[in-house]
Amino acid sequence: MEIDNKKIMKASDQAFEQYKTYLTSIEKISDRRENANRYFVTLNSAIIISGTFLIENVSNKGLLIFLLLGVLALSIFICIIFYFLINSYKQLNTAKFKLLHEIVSINIYDHQA
């Protein structure tokens, strides 16, 4: 009977270590996502500033429209990349949370049995 309790405790300790590892991993992914948010917001702000600079300093209307369309296309392209990156972070965290809940539910079930 005592051996079974030791095995259960060892399995419980391993499950707890896995839980801590996944929790740390989720926190790191959230930090990366926050850094990506900061980066892309800064990048889009710089693009907006460059667009206003062009409006104020380019006198040729045809050239101005061409440059502004280029700035607009660049901004849209960056927003699309931003969306896909943030969405992939979301999917990764969702999968890790599901696994984390699975570890917890298995561990609780094992202790109740």
**Cα distances (angstroms) measured from residue 88 to each of 2, 38, 66, 76:** 46, 16, 33, 18
Residue 16 pLDDT:
76
pLDDT tens, the chain, 113 aa long:
455 666 656 666 777 787 788 788 888 988 999 999 999 999 999 999 999 999 999 999 999 999 999 999 999 999 999 999 999 999 988 888 888 888 777 665 555 55
Residue 1 pLDDT:
46
Residue 50 pLDDT:
94
What residues does each domain of the chain span? Answer: 2-112
Residues 77, 47 contacting (CB under 8 angstroms): no
Which amino acid is present at 36? A
Residue 29, Cα to own-chain centre: how many angstroms? Answer: 5
pTM for this prediction: 0.70
